[in-house]
Structure 1
């Protein structure tokens, strides 16, 4: 197949695209059927959030992966597709600047994604790289949505949440890509020389690709990316959340670009029913990205597993808490006391804290117990008291800025 579809007649382009779709359907069906037979239908539990990290050679995928994970609140390691493909045959193809076959990629990747540590989400470095892989991704997301609908009203619902897909593309031009590949090669060579000079053995040496020491090979690797992978990544633009990140600058500049692109938006990430339940509450400025992953999981869990209590707590916040909070908009802190019996269940207290956190507030709850006289024995003078629980909530948020006039 030509590497530049724009140069092909339209009928030939359509034929190629039809073949790619058919190939993807065959590959996906075979892999999915094998997984279902081996693991069981209800154990095909993929992560809620998939971050597809792509980019030109030297764009800094490895350098920026940890930062992207922190920005999205992911604690699991990334899935690096090139590391999954570690057979001698695959290694020879990679060292020449080529790519391993789609069937191997899909089979190994799907199995890895099913590991428990990726249940909340993961970064997938180096996928998709071909149009066939894009089609397999579409089929996977379709299956994930089907599983979500199938289990939505069941006790297993928390394991099959509605998926969120982000395509993150780090881009550098050809000259920058080649320079960075060769610079990496020089650093690896220097480090290996140091290892040997200090008595290290050959098995301790860092791996060095031919593309890191040969300008022609580095250029060929970039051309393979532009001709085979770039179009595949671009095709995701109209389907999923797409983030094009300029990675030409220094690390600090690239990190700023990443934060700007991957800013948390609850409307895109919560289950639709969960978001509809809380969207009418006033939204404070940016929810802290720290612990975002756990917060989203708890919120979806409330909606899926404790919907009655969840909506009762939301109504209580809206009707009783928010009027008090709004009266304290200038200082940015309000205290609310409640004797509502719903808070006898500790889960309701936890819901209050998490609902406020999702909206951008910081809330703390305390339970105060006081003894209230109920009856008095007139003969003995004995006073019988009843323990009364008062639930005190402290809610903090961004205070109003008051512009003071000058005399």
Structure 2
């Protein structure tokens, strides 16, 4: 009796296929790399994987992102890697530059010493297979020991309307540039992309980004730190969004042990954020709870400090030594600083004690000194706009 044929297996889901493809691609590329360069290969300490729709402004904003993260190396642009001699050789051999070839070219490029302190990679990952390869790359770096690599995903996002508008604008600018080159005979012509001249093709490019790259990058939200940067606005607005997204976050950059030991200390940005409200609260409290002292401090500022401040208006910097007894009271000293701060002055105060000879002990001939308190007050403020002639 023959056994019935087993039930056919359901086809593998697309995600499973992509994971399997990556599990075949990355180990082979990694093994080739180690065989060629040795096990002690050195990769960057920080990676920013930058993605964005057509017209999102990646090329425009990459230098700004680099400055925000103190990255001095040029970006690695995947589209440029595909024109390298290695990529051209692959094409000339009649082969496609697929995910395996892209990953191999990228890892080879990242070994250059100029990227050691940090790198921005423009245009990777773009596919779900590349996303899986990125995860495997991260785990391969972790397995080497030492500080964990810093991976950041940055996505410059624009709506379809903005993307299409910017692509068409770029196409018009290229056409006009080339027209002037032909008319004058000076300069070099730029590539005229068909996709920058046809609204339908512009929309198709955007939709391709949404269906592949966008979804691929979104899948990394739960694994790596993800910077979603709104890029619809003008350049200044976009760069403000970048600064806000890339603000220093110690929990991401320090080891858990170090972060745990210092996290109870306030961040400077948190202090500054609430400083104005706390200043107002203190001034109202002075007027309510210590009205006499508050009036004396204001009177002293008006009669003693402001005349000197006015005299230094050209420089915006006044230094004042005072033995005013009123300032012996710490609350009065705080009042003085707060009142001037509310009016826009930057004030610092140092207390110096000076021993002044007062008398001589006739029996021991010891000099008896009186200790005086001298408050050294430094006040800075915007100087006069009047310029001196040269």
Specify if TM > 0.5.
yes
Q: Provide closer, same or farther for how the CA distance between residues 109 and 90 of structure 1 changes in structure 2, counting only shifts above 3 A.
A: closer
Match of 1:108 in 2: 105
Match of 1:26 in 2: 24
In 1, Cα distance between the equivalents of 2:32 and 2:172? 44
State yes or no: 1:130 paired with 2:127.
yes
Give the alignment partner of residue 162 of structure 2, picking from 165, 172, 176. Answer: 176
Match of 1:223 in 2: 207
SS of the aligned residue for 1:41 comes to: coil
User: Shift of residue 208 of structure 1?
Assistant: 2.6
User: Shift of residue 334 of structure 1?
Assistant: 8.4
User: Shift of residue 67 of structure 1?
Assistant: 0.9
Match of 2:225 in 1: 241
State yes or no: 1:268 paired with 2:252.
yes
In 2, Cα distance between the equivalents of 1:28 and 1:332? 59
User: Shift of residue 279 of structure 1?
Assistant: 5.0
In 1, Cα distance between the equivalents of 2:79 and 2:350? 52
Match of 2:178 in 1: 192
Equivalent pair of 1:60/1:170 in contact (CA under 8 Å): yes
Deviations 1:214-236 (A, max 9, x none): 22221211111111111101101
- Choose between structure 1 and 2 for higher RCO, CA contacts under 8 A separated by at least 6 residues: 1
In 2, Cα distance between the equivalents of 1:177 and 1:38? 42
Match of 2:343 in 1: none
In 2, Cα distance between the equivalents of 1:183 and 1:214? 11
Give the alignment partner of residue 70 of structure 1, picking from 63, 67, 70. Answer: 67
User: Shift of residue 165 of structure 1?
Assistant: 1.1
Q: Provide closer, same or farther for how the CA distance between residues 194 and 143 of structure 1 changes in structure 2, counting only shifts above 3 A.
A: same
Give the alignment partner of residue 207 of structure 1, picking from 187, 191, 212. Answer: 191
Equivalent pair of 2:81/2:87 in contact (CA under 8 Å): no
User: Shift of residue 195 of structure 1?
Assistant: 2.3
Gaps of 5+ in 2: 1-9, 89-95, 271-332, 338-346, 352-379, 381-390
Residues 274-353 of structure 1 mapped to structure 2, 5 A cutoff = 274-275=258-259, 283-285=267-269
In 1, Cα distance between the equivalents of 2:251 and 2:21? 35
Equivalent pair of 2:77/2:122 in contact (CA under 8 Å): yes
State yes or no: 1:144 paired with 2:141.
yes
- The TM-score, its normalising length taken from structure 2, stands at 0.62
Deviations 1:287-331 (A, max 9, x none): xxxxxxxxxxxxxxxxxxxxxxxxxxxxxxxxxxxxxxxxx9986
Q: What's the C-alpha RMSD, in Å, of the aligned pairs?
A: 3.0
Structure exhibiting the larger radius of gyration computed from Cα positions:
2
Q: Provide closer, same or farther for how the CA distance between residues 197 and 39 of structure 1 changes in structure 2, counting only shifts above 3 A.
A: same
Q: Provide closer, same or farther for how the CA distance between residues 334 and 167 of structure 1 changes in structure 2, counting only shifts above 3 A.
A: farther
In 1, Cα distance between the equivalents of 2:29 and 2:246? 31
Equivalent pair of 2:66/2:72 in contact (CA under 8 Å): yes
Match of 2:150 in 1: 164
Equivalent pair of 1:72/1:264 in contact (CA under 8 Å): no
Q: Provide closer, same or farther for how the CA distance between residues 88 and 123 of structure 1 changes in structure 2, counting only shifts above 3 A.
A: closer
In 2, Cα distance between the equivalents of 1:130 and 1:332? 56
Aligned pair count reads 264
Q: Provide closer, same or farther for how the CA distance between residues 57 and 332 of structure 1 changes in structure 2, counting only shifts above 3 A.
A: farther
In 2, Cα distance between the equivalents of 1:254 and 1:283? 25
User: Shift of residue 90 of structure 1?
Assistant: 8.1
Match of 2:234 in 1: 250
User: Shift of residue 283 of structure 1?
Assistant: 4.3
- The TM-score, its normalising length taken from structure 1, stands at 0.59
Match of 1:57 in 2: 54
State yes or no: 1:48 paired with 2:45.
yes
In 2, Cα distance between the equivalents of 1:103 and 1:176? 33
Match of 2:13 in 1: 15
